[in-house]
């Protein structure tokens, strides 16, 4: 059967009532522009990831076990989506495909349809509003549908159009054919995407069911090779039994899947539906945003006897209870690791929001506020920033309300000598000015004390401990560097990437959007900042002085090789041609000790020096610059560990940017 431009009346989009043409004066039916569907359907007809995901979801709803996608290399080549689902008759196609806003739930229910040989299978359907079938419009304005069912192959050509209908059936043919399934094809003229990208997206959305395979250009992604795989581990339970656990980030898909949770596979078949809770066992709170991001697959080949006859669940037994307990412990363990980053982000957001209020609190109150936030986020790692913010506001108000009575209590206990000293202090200083000075002195003393205690520990991570302390305390290297004029410079950062490219890869550059001045190397970290001035001749801002600081890991000795290495990279900077001018380079290489075989100072005439130094030298030099206050206040920090001192510094509201 062959027809030309078969005209079908399409129900208007979104369930609106069709308006028929009328010859009565003043009345006219609605008209459509040719791109109406693409503009109306949004991502389904404009974003390739979404379009292909929806088309594969249609195959899922049609009871398919395999979907093959062919993604061409170039435009005007065939793009194909083919499945082995139940297929459609000509009448089915006309009713379902050619109705805009087709209500699948109302017409077919919530379950997928299956071909005869899989009639006893059960699977919740994705489809709801009938827009997913139009995904081929993302790639071309005309496409073909070939579908087999009940011994008949029906071929249709569909195209968008303008006028009375937004799209129309151009051609229909039918022949006898065995089997079942549907094949969509078109010559792609737009929105082509990478096959690898499509493979990642689709495997993420449909990974929960081992009986549904998606192949892109002939290849699928095994679970163990999934791009979103975070953790893989063997779990042991019930006297030596084992299962494999896979923790997968399912946000690799274009849309959030409805199947996050723990999926149990036995012999390549899904048991029940994925869920974060089974009976009284709760693996994770599924209401949280973070839970909606992940899927956990538990794979076994020897639990067949524990599966219910209809495969909807496991039978209740001591073995399965032990399995659930092992899975819960595994999920919580991985989840805690994932939560650490979220806790840090949430804490920074909330502290930044209340920065001014926290700054007005006395030092002890600030410490108590930090401890409160740390305690809450550890107990509730998925707490939302707005919830934590409300709780923090209440604590701040409580600290403010009790500060007055606490002050009176402290004044009552002061000695006569302390009262005289306080009177003299307040006669010459405002309270705020005094606290500002004392807080800055205290912060510097704590910095020096923390460096002293942490630098000799071989387990110290110089990136997250020593580097924040040292690079944000440039006064340690001399009073001339204690200036806000030393900042990260774009051309200097570019040069750093070029110079250190052989010693560090792009993915080790510490969050370049937040701390562009720090680069992570194999055995050290390097920071670079510069001052600028306006050149008298050109009138342009140019670099005047560069401060480079290379910090070796805790307990590391600076060798002759390290000194030569520093000389080489300073010379590389000067000869690179990447800098806007020829600034003066002051370079410091800092370690636990310096080899006796190397000179601690080198000069590269005429504009560069390299100084080797120990953390101990920094501490002694800083002590002198602080008028030996550290010695006079020795007992103040004597019992405090280096880690606690570091935490004190990094928890100050004004220091929140140190690790960014």
> Tell me: the pLDDT tens digits for 441-461?
777 777 777 777 777 666 666
Highest mean pLDDT out of 107-121, 315-329, 367-381, 609-623: 315-329
- The DSSP element (H or E) to which 265 belongs, if any, is strand 261-266
Nearest to 590 by CA among 618, 622, 614: 614
> Tell me: the pLDDT tens digits for 521-553?
777 888 888 888 877 777 787 888 999 999 887
Q: Check: CB of residue 96 under 8 Å from CB of residue 207.
A: no
Q: What is the 3-state secondary structure (H, E, C) of 569-612?
A: HHHHHHHCCCCCCCCEEEEEEEECEECCCCCCEEEECCCEEEEE
Which has more confidence, 535 or 82? 82
Beta strands in 177-237 (DSSP E): 181-187, 213-216, 229-237
Count of beta carbons in the 10 Å neighbourhood of residue 12:
16
How would you class 390 by CB atoms within 10 Å of its CB: exposed for 0-12, middle for 13-18, buried for 19 or more? exposed
CA-CA-CA-CA dihedral for 254, 256, 260, 263, to nearest 10: -40
Count of beta carbons in the 10 Å neighbourhood of residue 406:
13
SS3 242: strand
**Dist. CA 207–CA 217, nearest whole Å:** 18
pLDDT grade for 464, boundaries at 50, 70 and 90: low
Say yes or no to pLDDT of 511 above 60. Answer: no
pLDDT grade for 32, boundaries at 50, 70 and 90: confident
What per-residue confidence (pLDDT) applies to 221? 82
Highest mean pLDDT out of 194-203, 313-322, 485-494, 615-624: 313-322
Residue in the block written with tokens 């090789």: 561
Residue-by-residue DSSP string for 136-172: GGGT-SEEEEEEEETTEEEEEEEEE-SBS-SEEEEEE
What per-residue confidence (pLDDT) applies to 103? 72
pLDDT grade for 154, boundaries at 50, 70 and 90: very high
Residue in the block written with tokens 């795989």: 229
End-to-end CA distance of the chain: 68
SS3 187: strand
Q: pTM for this structure?
A: 0.47
**Which domains does the chain show, CATH number per domain?**
25-193 (3.30.565.10), 225-338 (3.30.230), 342-436 (no CATH), 455-655 (no CATH)
> Tell me: the pLDDT tens digits for 569-581?
888 888 888 887 8
Instruction: For Cα atoms 642, 646, 652, give the angle at the middle one, nearest 5 degrees.
Output: 150
Q: Check: CB of residue 40 under 8 Å from CB of residue 13.
A: yes
Which has more confidence, 343 or 187? 187
The stretch 186-203 carries a mean pLDDT of 87
Highest mean pLDDT out of 68-72, 212-216, 261-265, 330-334: 68-72
Beta strands in 322-433 (DSSP E): none
pLDDT grade for 472, boundaries at 50, 70 and 90: low
The stretch 173-197 carries a mean pLDDT of 92
The stretch 162-172 carries a mean pLDDT of 83
Cα torsion angle, 446, 448, 452, 454, sign: positive
**Dist. CA 51–CA 48, nearest whole Å:** 5
Q: What's the Cα-to-Cα distance from 621 to each of 199, 552, 601, 628, 642, rounded to whole Å?
A: 58, 19, 16, 10, 19
Kindly report the average pLDDT of the chain as a whole number: 78
What per-residue confidence (pLDDT) applies to 403? 56
pLDDT grade for 106, boundaries at 50, 70 and 90: confident
């Amino acid at each position: 059967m062959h027809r030309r431009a078969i005209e079908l009346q399409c129900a208007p989009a979104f369930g609106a009532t069709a308006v028929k043409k009328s010859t009565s004066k003043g009345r006219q039916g609605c008209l459509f522009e040719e791109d109406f569907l693409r503009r109306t359907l949004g991502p389904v007809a404009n974003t390739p990831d979404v379009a292909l995901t929806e088309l594969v979801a249609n195959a899922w709803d049609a009871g398919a076990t395999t979907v093959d996608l062919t993604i061409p290399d170039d435009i005007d080549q065939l793009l194909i989506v083919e499945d082995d689902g139940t297929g459609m008759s000509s009448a089915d196609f006309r009713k379902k495909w050619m109705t805009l806003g087709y209500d699948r739930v109302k017409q077919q229910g919530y379950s997928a349809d299956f071909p005869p040989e899989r009639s006893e299978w059960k699977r919740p359907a994705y489809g709801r509003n009938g827009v997913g079938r139009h995904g081929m419009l993302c790639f071309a304005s005309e496409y073909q549908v070939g579908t087999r069912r009940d011994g008949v192959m029906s071929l249709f050509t569909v195209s968008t159009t303008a006028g009375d209908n937004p799209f129309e059936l151009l051609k229909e043919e039918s022949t006898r054919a065995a089997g079942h399934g549907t094949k969509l094809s078109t010559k792609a003229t737009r929105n082509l995407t990478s096959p690898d990208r499509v493979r990642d997206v689709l495997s993420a959305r449909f990974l929960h069911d081992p009986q549904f395979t998606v192949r892109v250009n002939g290849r699928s992604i095994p679970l163990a090779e999934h791009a979103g795989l975070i953790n893989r581990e063997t779990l042991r339970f019930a006297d030596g039994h084992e299962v494999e656990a896979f923790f997968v980030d399912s946000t690799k898909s274009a849309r959030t899947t409805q199947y996050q949770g723990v999926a149990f596979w036995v012999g390549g078949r899904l048991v029940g539906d994925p869920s974060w809770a089974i009976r009284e066992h709760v693996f994770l709170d599924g209401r949280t945003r973070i839970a909606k991001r992940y899927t956990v697959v538990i794979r076994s080949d020897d639990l067949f006897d524990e599966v219910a006859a209809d495969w909807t669940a496991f039978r209740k037994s001591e073995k399965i209870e032990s399995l659930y307990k092992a899975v819960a412990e595994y999920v919580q363990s991985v989840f805690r690791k994932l939560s650490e980053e979220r806790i840090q982000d949430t804490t920074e957001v909330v502290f930044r929001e209340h920065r001014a209020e926290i700054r007005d609190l006395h030092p002890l109150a600030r410490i108590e506020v930090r401890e409160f936030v740390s305690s809450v986020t550890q107990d509730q790692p998925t707490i939302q920033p707005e919830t934590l913010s409300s709780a923090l506001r209440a604590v701040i108000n409580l600290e403010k309300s009790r500060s007055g009575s606490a002050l009176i209590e402290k004044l009552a206990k002061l000695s006569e000598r302390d009262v005289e000293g306080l009177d003299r202090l307040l006669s010459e200083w405002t309270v705020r000015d005094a606290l500002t000075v004392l807080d800055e002195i205290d912060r510097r003393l704590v910095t020096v004390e923390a460096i002293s205690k942490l630098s000799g520990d071989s387990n110290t991570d110089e990136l997250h401990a020593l580097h924040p302390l040292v690079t944000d305390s440039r006064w340690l290297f001399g009073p001339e560097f204690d200036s806000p004029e030393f900042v990260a410079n774009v051309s200097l950062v570019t040069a750093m990437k070029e110079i250190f490219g052989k010693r560090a890869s792009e993915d080790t550059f510490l969050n370049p959007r937040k701390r562009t001045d720090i680069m992570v190397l194999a055995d050290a970290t390097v920071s670079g900042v510069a001052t600028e001035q306006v050149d008298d001749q050109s009138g342009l801002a140019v670099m005047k002085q560069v401060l480079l600081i290379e910090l070796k890991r805790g307990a590391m000795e600076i060798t002759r090789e390290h000194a030569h290495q520093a000389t080489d990279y300073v010379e590389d900077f000067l000869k690179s041609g990447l800098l806007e001018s020829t600034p003066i380079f002051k370079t410091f290489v800092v370690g636990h000790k310096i080899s006796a075989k190397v000179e601690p100072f080198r000069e590269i005439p005429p504009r560069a020096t390299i100084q080797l130094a120990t953390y101990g030298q920094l501490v002694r030099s800083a002590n002198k610059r602080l008028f030996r206050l550290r010695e006079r206040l020795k007992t103040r920090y004597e019992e405090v560990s280096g880690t606690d001192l570091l935490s004190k510094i990094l928890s100050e509201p004004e220091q929140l940017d140190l690790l960014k």
